[in-house]
Amino acid sequence: MFSPTKQGGMPEWTQLWRSLMKGEFHSVKVVKILHQVGLPVIGMLVFVMIWHLGAQRIDTSLGVFPGPLEVAEQGQNLYAEHVAERGKEAGFYQRQEVRVAERVLVDPGYKPVLRDYTGSATFFDQILTSLATVMSGFLLASLIAVPLGIVIGLSSSMHAAINPLIQIFKPVSPLAWLPLVTMLVSAIYTSDDPMVAKSFVTSMLTVSLCSLWPTLINTSVGVTSVSQDLVNVSRVLRLGWWSHVIKIVLPSALPMIFTGLRLSLGIAWMVLIAAEMLAQNPGLGKFVWDEFQNGSSQSLGRIMVAVFAIGFIGFLLDRAMLSLQRWLVWDKQSAQR
Amino acid sequence: MKMSYTCMRSVLIKCMFFSVITMVGNASAEVGYAEKAELKIGFIKLTDMAPLAIAYEKGYFEDEGLYVTLEAQANWKVLLDRVIDGQLDGAHMLAGQPLGATIGFGTQAHIITALSMDLNGNGITVSNAVWEEMKKHVPMQDGKPVHPIKADALKPVIEKYRAEGKPFNLGMVFPVSTHNYELRYWLAAGGIHPGFYAPEKGDTSGQLQSDVLLSVTPPPQMPSTMEAGTIYGYCVGEPWNQQAVFKGIGVPVITDYEIWKDNPEKVFGVSSEWAEKNPNTHIRVVKAMIRAAQWLDENNNANRPEAVKILAKPNYVGADEEVIANSMTGTFEYEKGDTRSVPDFNVFFRRNATYPYYSDAIWYLTQMRRWGQISEAKPDSWYMDIAMKVYRPDIYAVAANELIAEGKVKRKDFPDFASETGFKPPQTEFIDGVIYDGTQPNVYLEKLTIGLKSTDQL
Amino acid sequence: MKAILELSKVGITFDTPRGPFEAIKEVDLKIAEGEFISLIGHSGCGKSTVLNIVAGLLQATNGGAILDGKEVYQPGPERAVVFQNHSLLPWLTAYENVEIAVRQVFKGKKSKAEMRDWIEHNLALVHMTHAQHKRPDEISGGMKQRVGIARALAMQPRVLLMDEPFGALDALTRAHLQDSLMDIHRQLGSTVIMITHDVDEAVLLSDRIVMMTNGPSATVGEVLDITLPRPRDRLALADDPAYNRCRQRVLQFLYEKQRKVQPIPMSSDSAKSSMAVQNFG
């Protein structure tokens, strides 16, 4: 649980920190700081200790299980590889310029085109790819789920018609959707010069399919539970259907919608990693899978780096949604945690 | 950001248009520019993908005006499907894949190849437990097993397992893979029946009438699958045999060089539709890869250590350098400590390794027939027709001649394209001594003890 | 006396799982322009049901309400409602809560500037100018109810319907608001129907008190004219015999004639929610 925040939305411990910096020193506050900063730090340290000691005892066929130091080292390696790859990229563009210039001289009809770098994606590139995919998938899911949820919430007949489908599709794992989506994308998304790669479309759709349910359900529940008094206000004012939705229903249901969106984003992120792993779509999931396949003595350490990155990014995504919710939603209580 | 970067670049190019004058004249290609400059080529994490990695890293693709992205694929099926549906422009394929796809075993699609990527490079590994049992039946000399080890030594082990009611599971990488046929050839040569396919009856497990159960496992997962006890052994390309030694979980018993000396292994496959649409691109890819193959074998494998460093990168094969180095630099470790020299374990260029021989294609077709993947008898002419439909030495010849004209390769390293028939002389170096003549596939099938004969039907 | 609003033989029967339930029957009432009417009765007697029928939030099964010669069949701003629990939109400020009503009612009739003046005028009427940019969760219950009244008034209704508007407030706040309401009524001459179960409030504010019998099948029991002169002063009236007689009459009706004997199977609250199901579920 996180500490409740003051009105400005500033966490209590930052305020404490500020007052400490200003020299306001109270024993109560020190205890509070110890509680709110010290305990998490202690928790981390204990975890790292257990990890360090435990890892030494686990002997896998790829060598000793990586401890904190090895993982930190692999983190540095991954960064170094990233820098090296950027260097190669610069060389690639230089060579290409020369080549294009040569060709323009002998082939005047040629319209110079600059080709994107073809080198391998580094760990950090994979993170960006994953983020782009998850955001597009999540956006698509939200664009479908919120309006559909509103319609279902407003009409009991729609609810009756669609609810069984929701209940059936909601628990379906990304692994089951993936082959179907892959085939569908191959069949439908045919273009010689596609805007985006098929694999991107496939993972994006899989993410959407798996992540739209919490938003859909929470939106419809949020809409159903709009206070009857507010509905009466709307009726007395004779608001049209559209204004009713925009001015009464949507703001009312917004806290619930956001609850759904946060759940959805969490699911989207988890699903994405699995989808990338299975479908060999670029991204963090593929990174993990490739490293597993490589089976080098460094692989486990590199996978651990990815595990931390995945967890940390998932956490940041959730915090970002929470901030968005605090900023957008009137009901600050709903955005406490 | 990318946009502005690109804009800036194009301005630079325009400047160069006026300044670079000395460069005129050295690009005298007869083959036109590539129809498609940006290519995505798939591969499986195996050391014999090396020609692709080298062509990329050494800039051979770029020399042909090709901007290639190399992408590791999960397994052979995914790789083939993505070549068929166009997500990949071409791929590092099992020699049997273009043939199998074209005759419609598995996924039906017309795939062609104009380049053989390498010879040999596979091995058969069994788990430590199986090796302990097997070793008792292997002839020894100076405390070391006498090579090649025949499957005769495995037979009693399998019988023992069967008597205990344990099915003897072995892994191979794909139904039409070299590994499947090599493993079957080795087993059958030792009197062990590897099982028939019967696609006409809907049976594609390949386990009919078998003494052992062969199943598909993707190459990089072979060691971990054996470690998990799901399979007792496997046939796979490098580095996955050496990996078992390093992990201490199994022992390679034989390399495919000893089963059939200089057997064709991987090819570069593209869909025939793609090849028709992009003839120049195709030739240029082949050119770049021939150069890469030459680099790999140059000066008696002098470049191999550098190749190992490249292959060890996580985006290529990614295994530890020492594991890859073992086979790539001409040694092979059998039992831990029993390292032997196998200079021809991986052949990329010498002995016309890159040339797509019809006779190689036909050998694969005979094996498909032998094990029932081709369900009915076919005349010799059918074997010829399929080989010519799939193997395209004509494209290879154009590419090689271009390189010769450009002075990048020597004519003596290639067959005489005017007189070359595409058939190697009858080959004698099989583990069971049976002679293979590619011009007479049905006669060859008659000579093999275990397996379907010309008119047999399941 | 010319009637602006006329209820004739109004009755309503709800379908419940336990069979039909007649909440009110044969309610007859004529209300003149500018009149202040209170509906009083024990809880559950159907006061709110009557009000909701006038508001158009409920459809009468028998008879009906006629406003300015036209039958009422749906809600509308000419019959603005002040709800018991203010019903402000929590995500809007006081100003915006009034604005949403003004925009809807005066769309195309008032310019932007006129609308702004009108909103501010109405907020001033209920003494809320100082807090007009605060949101409901930042102001007190009494202030919320003032904004609710401002919103209703801003619709320029022919009849102002108030459903126990001060029921949830403490006594002091309630007295304040009652005084404000009397002021506004005097200034605007609005026609008001107010539901209350506070006898003092009814006598203080009303021109007539309509006393309802207990349900089921509740109807108008007695109607009492309050002829006390206006403006009325609550302190002065405390010792006024006429005032106390009126009080007495109402109390008599409630606690002698209509003494509550048994629980009513359906409260007005659940009647409201069953209406909700019919209309929006």
Q: Across residues B194-198, what is the average pLDDT? A: 92
A92 CA: distance to closest CA in chain B (Å) = 9
Out of B24, B87, B312, name the one closest to residue A105 (CB): B24
Burial B67-104 (b: 16+ CB within 10 A, else e): bbbbbbbbbbbbbbbbbbbbbbbbbbbbbbbbbbbbbe
A221 and A90 belong to one structural domain: no
Which CATH number characterizes residue B94's domain?
Answer: 3.40.190.10
Q: Across residues B409-429, what is the average pLDDT? A: 92
With cut-offs at 50, 70 and 90, classify the pLDDT of residue A21: low
Task: Report residue A317: phi and psi, to 5°.
Answer: -60, -45
Q: Looking at beta carbons, which residues of chain B come within 8 Å of A107?
A: 33
**pLDDT tens string A140-151:** 999 999 999 999
Which tokens is B362 given?
A: 């036909």
C94 CA: distance to closest CA in chain A (Å) = 14
Q: Looking at beta carbons, which residues of chain A come within 8 Å of B43?
A: none
A265 and A221 belong to one structural domain: yes
CB contact at 8 A, B452 and B445: yes
Q: In this complex, do C77 and A227 lie within 8 Å of one another by their Cβ atoms?
A: no
Which tokens is B222 given?
A: 């072979």
Which residue blocks in A34-122 are alpha helix, DSSP H? 39-57, 68-106
B225 and B332 belong to one structural domain: no
Q: CB distance from B97 to chain A under 8 Å? A: no
Percentages of chain A per state (helix, strand, coil), in multiples of 5 = 75, 0, 20
Out of A93, A95, A296, name the one closest to residue B59 (CB): A95
Q: Across residues A303-310, what is the average pLDDT? A: 92
Q: In this complex, do B220 and A294 lie within 8 Å of one another by their Cβ atoms?
A: yes
Query: Which is it for the CA torsion B80, B81, B84, B87, positive or negative?
Result: negative
Tell which residue, B306, B261, B284, B256, has the closest CA to residue B53. Answer: B306
Pairing state of beta strands C159-163 and C3-16? Answer: unpaired
Q: Which residue has the higher pLDDT, C194 or A4?
A: C194
Which tokens is C43 given?
A: 């809880």
Q: CB distance from C281 to chain A under 8 Å? A: yes
A300 and A227 belong to one structural domain: yes
Query: Mutating which of A7, A156, A233, A236 best tests the C interface, going by the most C Cβ atoms within 10 A?
Result: A236
Domains belonging to chain C, first-starting first, are: 3-75+159-164+175-280 (3.40.50.300), 81-156 (no CATH)
B273 and B390 belong to one structural domain: yes
Confidence check: pLDDT of C261 > 80? no
Report pLDDT for B58.
94
Task: Report residue B271: phi and psi, to 5°.
Answer: -80, 150
**Closest chain B residue by Cα to residue A197:** B87
- Structurally, chain A folds into a number of domains equal to 3
Q: CB distance from B314 to chain A under 8 Å? A: yes
**Closest chain A residue by Cα to residue C273:** A228
Tell which residue, B263, B258, B262, has the closest CA to residue B431. Answer: B258
Report pLDDT for B431.
93
Out of A62, A105, A118, name the one closest to residue B23 (CB): A105
A150 and A167 belong to one structural domain: yes
CB contact at 8 A, B183 and B172: yes
A248 and A305 belong to one structural domain: yes
Report pLDDT for C45.
80
- Angle CA B271–B275–B278, to nearest 5: 135
Confirm whether B20 is domain-assigned. Answer: no
B99 and B154 belong to one structural domain: no
Q: In this complex, do C135 and A330 lie within 8 Å of one another by their Cβ atoms?
A: yes
Spatial neighbors of A81 by CB under 8 A, at least 6 apart, are A122, A123, B314
Q: Which chain A residues in 185-204 lie under 8 Å from chain B, judged by CB atoms?
A: 186, 190, 197-199
Q: In this complex, do C104 and A330 lie within 8 Å of one another by their Cβ atoms?
A: no
With cut-offs at 50, 70 and 90, classify the pLDDT of residue A332: low
Q: Looking at beta carbons, which residues of chain C come within 8 Å of A154?
A: 280
Confidence check: pLDDT of A290 > 90? no
A243 and A255 belong to one structural domain: yes
Confidence check: pLDDT of B83 > 90? yes
Confirm whether B16 is domain-assigned. Answer: no
Confidence check: pLDDT of B447 > 80? yes
B59 and B147 belong to one structural domain: no
Query: Distance between CA atoms of C66 and A193, rounded to whole angstroms?
Result: 69
B93 and B210 belong to one structural domain: no
Secondary structure in 3-state letters for C234-274? HHHHCCCHHHHHHHHHHHHHHHHHCCCCCCCCCCHHHHHHH
Q: In this complex, do B20 and A102 lie within 8 Å of one another by their Cβ atoms?
A: yes
Which tokens is C30 given?
A: 């004529």
Query: Mutating which of C48, C87, C149 best tests the A interface, going by the most A Cβ atoms within 10 A?
Result: C87
With cut-offs at 50, 70 and 90, classify the pLDDT of residue A60: confident
Confidence check: pLDDT of C268 > 50? no
- Angle CA A269–A271–A273, to nearest 5: 75
B87 and B135 belong to one structural domain: no
Which tokens is C247 given?
A: 């009080």
- Among B244, B263, B282, identify where a domain stops: B263
Confirm whether B352 is domain-assigned. Answer: yes
Confidence check: pLDDT of A25 > 70? no
B284 and B307 belong to one structural domain: yes
Report pLDDT for B254.
94
* Residue A34, domain extent: 12-52
Calculate what percentage of chain C has a pLDDT beyond 70: 92
**pLDDT tens string A78-105:** 999 899 999 988 998 988 888 888 888 8
Q: Looking at beta carbons, which residues of chain C come within 8 Å of A243?
A: 104
Report pLDDT for A64.
79
Largest CA distance in chain A: 81
Q: CB distance from B229 to chain A under 8 Å? A: no
State which H helix or E strand residue C59 sits in: none
Q: In this complex, do C155 and A331 lie within 8 Å of one another by their Cβ atoms?
A: no
Tell which residue, B319, B178, B296, has the closest CA to residue B240. Answer: B319
Confidence check: pLDDT of B13 > 50? no
Confirm whether A6 is domain-assigned. Answer: no
Query: Distance between CA atoms of A268 and A271, rounded to whole angstroms?
Result: 5
Query: Distance between CA atoms of A39 and A304, rounded to whole angstroms?
Result: 24
A102 and A136 belong to one structural domain: no
**pLDDT tens string C121-179:** 999 988 889 988 999 989 998 899 999 999 998 998 989 999 988 888 888 888 988 99
Q: CB distance from B227 to chain A under 8 Å? A: yes
A84 and A166 belong to one structural domain: no
When the pLDDT of each residue in chain B is averaged and rounded to a whole number, the result is: 89
Query: Distance between CA atoms of A134 and A310, rounded to whole angstroms?
Result: 12
Q: Looking at beta carbons, which residues of chain C come within 8 Å of A227?
A: 87
Query: Distance between CA atoms of B435 and C91, rounded to whole angstroms?
Result: 88
- Interface confidence, given as ipTM, is 0.82
B143 and B237 belong to one structural domain: yes
Chains that touch C (3 or more CB pairs under 8 A): A
* CA-to-CA dists, residue B86 to A193, B43, B389, C34, C194, angstroms: 11, 15, 20, 81, 75
- Among B198, B230, B263, identify where a domain stops: B263
- Angle CA A244–A249–A255, to nearest 5: 160
A290 and A158 belong to one structural domain: yes
Out of A232, A239, A330, name the one closest to residue C87 (CB): A232
A86 and A199 belong to one structural domain: no
B181, exposed or middle or buried, with CB in 10 Å at 0-12, 13-18, 19+?
A: buried
A71 and A194 belong to one structural domain: no
Q: Looking at beta carbons, which residues of chain C come within 8 Å of A246?
A: none
- Structurally, chain B folds into a number of domains equal to 2
Confidence check: pLDDT of B289 > 90? yes
**Closest chain A residue by Cα to residue C89:** A230
* CA-to-CA dists, residue B40 to A45, A85, B69, B88, angstroms: 45, 18, 5, 5
Q: In this complex, do C104 and A229 lie within 8 Å of one another by their Cβ atoms?
A: no
How would you list the strands of the sheet with C36-40, edge to edge? Answer: C81-82, C159-163, C191-196, C36-40, C208-212, C220-225
Least confident of A309-318, B26-35, B174-183, B404-413: B26-35
Query: Distance between CA atoms of B161 and B101, rounded to whole angstroms?
Result: 36
A251 CA: distance to closest CA in chain C (Å) = 7
Confirm whether B335 is domain-assigned. Answer: yes
Confirm whether A5 is domain-assigned. Answer: no
Q: In this complex, do C75 and A233 lie within 8 Å of one another by their Cβ atoms?
A: no
Query: Mutating which of C74, C100, C273, C278 best tests the A interface, going by the most A Cβ atoms within 10 A?
Result: C100
**CA B112 remoteness from chain centre:** 15
Query: Distance between CA atoms of C64 and C7, rounded to whole angstroms?
Result: 6
Report pLDDT for B12.
44
Q: Across residues A231-251, what is the average pLDDT? A: 91
Q: In this complex, do A251 and C80 lie within 8 Å of one another by their Cβ atoms?
A: no
Q: In this complex, do A230 and C87 lie within 8 Å of one another by their Cβ atoms?
A: yes
B176 and B303 belong to one structural domain: no
Q: Which chain A residues in 126-185 lie under 8 Å from chain B, judged by CB atoms?
A: none
**CA B280 remoteness from chain centre:** 24
Out of C57, C105, C155, name the one closest to residue A232 (CB): C57
Helix (H, G, I), strand (E, B) or coil at A200: helix
* Residue B134, domain extent: 122-263
Task: Report residue B406: phi and psi, to 5°.
Answer: -80, -10
Confidence check: pLDDT of B393 > 50? yes
Q: What one-character-per-residue DSSP string does B203-242 give?
A: EEEEEET-SSEEEE--GGGHHHHHHTTS-SEEEEETTHHH
A71 and A125 belong to one structural domain: no
Q: Looking at beta carbons, which residues of chain A come within 8 Å of B249?
A: 61
How would you list the strands of the sheet with C70-71, edge to edge? Answer: C19-32, C3-16, C62-67, C70-71
**pLDDT tens string B162-174:** 899 889 999 999 9
B453 CA: distance to closest CA in chain A (Å) = 39
Q: Across residues B412-420, what is the average pLDDT? A: 92
Helix (H, G, I), strand (E, B) or coil at C71: strand
Burial A17-30 (b: 16+ CB within 10 A, else e): eeeeeeeeeeeebe
Least confident of B15-19, B228-232, C61-65: B15-19
B270 and B256 belong to one structural domain: no
Query: Distance between CA atoms of B354 and B414, rounded to whole angstroms?
Result: 9
A335 CA: distance to closest CA in chain C (Å) = 14
Query: Distance between CA atoms of B250 and B125, rounded to whole angstroms?
Result: 6
With cut-offs at 50, 70 and 90, classify the pLDDT of residue B8: very low
- Among A94, A117, A140, identify where a domain stops: A117
Which CATH number characterizes residue A183's domain?
Answer: 1.10.3720.10
Spatial neighbors of C130 by CB under 8 A, at least 6 apart, are none
Q: Whose structure tokens read 């590889």?
A: A81
Report pLDDT for B347.
93
Q: Looking at beta carbons, which residues of chain B come within 8 Å of A291?
A: 314, 318
Report yes or no on chains B and C touching (3+ CB pairs under 8 A). Answer: no
B188 and B309 belong to one structural domain: no
Confirm whether B6 is domain-assigned. Answer: no
State which H helix or E strand residue B88 sits in: none
**pLDDT tens string B25-73:** 333 447 888 899 999 999 999 899 999 999 999 999 999 999 999 998 8
B126 and B136 belong to one structural domain: yes
